[in-house]
Amino acid sequence: MTGGGMDASGELFDSTARKVHQWGVVLLSAIAFLIDGAAGGWIMIGAGLLMIAGRYWDEVDLIRLFYHVVLKPRGILRPNMVAEDRATRRIARVLGGAIQIVAGAMLLAGGAAVVAWSLVGAITVMVALDAAVDFCALCFVVLQFRRATTAAS
């Protein structure tokens, strides 16, 4: 589910770059979980900052940069240009990043590890679903809301 079709601008976007970023976030989350404790918390804060800052400034998204500088030029991965709803995915990225930061802070504070890892787990599953099968959970919720409000009017 790509969230309802083409971006309002009608532009095509490289879904491979998005997926590389998403799998990078999943990998960082898994590493943080395995390390746990304060170090895991710092990794989650870093992942959250990467998600949020990279949403607004492409140059600071180190995972996408790795794709554009290393993987794509060497032919390891190829661009896949698609029309998709980037606006909702961008909101999801900021929300997910904020939750990662909160979870990381909870790990640093200690005592709330179960809640923190539950939050990280939920975000990681949603990111992995979008990366693997193009199912954007927030896009789905927004689409259902639009359908419900359209049917009600």
- The predicted structure's pLDDT at residue 70: 97
Tell me if 84 sits within 8 A of 136, measured CB to CB.
no
Domain boundaries, the chain: 13-152
Q: Per residue in 73-96, pLDDT tens? A: 999 999 999 998 788 999 999 999
Confidence of residue 69 (pLDDT cuts 50, 70, 90): very high
Average pLDDT of the chain is 91
Q: Tell me: the pLDDT tens digits for 14-41?
A: 999 999 999 999 999 999 999 999 999 9
Instruction: Please state the rounded mean pLDDT for residues 100-119.
Output: 95
Q: Is a pLDDT exceeding 80 seen at residue 8?
A: no
What is the rounded distance in angstroms from the CA atom of residue 60 to the CA atom of residue 75?
Answer: 23
Give the residue-averaged pLDDT of 126-132: 97
The pLDDT of residue 7 is above 80? no
Confidence of residue 10 (pLDDT cuts 50, 70, 90): low
> How far apart are alpha carbons 76 and 9 in whole angstroms?
29
> What is the per-residue pLDDT for 111?
79
Residue 62 has pLDDT above 90, yes or no: yes
Question: How is 26-87 classified by DSSP, letter by letter?
Answer: HHHHHHHHHH-HHHHHHHHHHHHHHHHHHHH-GGG-HHHHHIIIIITTTTSS---EE---HH
> Is-above-0.75 flag for pTM?
yes
Token digits of residue 106: 């909870």
